[in-house]
Structure 1
Amino acid sequence: MAKVRAIVFDLFDTLLHDIKFDFNSGLSYLHKNILSIDTDKVEFLDYAATFWKELYDKRSEDNSELAFEDELLDFKNKYRHVR
């Protein structure tokens, strides 16, 4: 299955008015809604910070995009349970 890739240009701020990226907020949503309730949140956030945070920080420097599918599969393989 091919991965979908898209680039969205928001000229004149017609779509986005407040650009922010909060790594932990996104992970908290993932923990609450995707992963099993048996997954410890603190341990999950610590694990995410070891590898994925570095990649997201690099993204702001060179505009590289990360495949969310790869990230989700990594978490699934690590924690073995999703809802």
Structure 2
Amino acid sequence: MRKQFSASIKGFSASMTPEQAKKMAADSRVAFVQRNQRFTANQDNPPWGLDRTDLPPDQKFEPSATADNVNVHVIDTGI
């Protein structure tokens, strides 16, 4: 187990094999098991402030640099 959650949701994160995940999902006390996912997002008509970061302002956000050693995590559950 990596981390346990109890404030807004009851759950935990863990590293496990596919077989272990199947066994966990079969447990009647477990609502569901979900694999970690990677998401990317693009935005048309970005807010003025975001558009300004990649000058010139052109109603598009097109970052000019990328890095493969940067991770950004945003989780907005609305809770």
Provide TM-score, normalisation by structure 1.
0.24
Comparing both structures, which one devotes a greater share of its residues to helix?
A: 1
Provide TM-score, normalisation by structure 2.
0.24
- Higher-Rg member (1/2): 2
Bigger relative CO (Cα 8 Å, ≥ 6 apart): 1
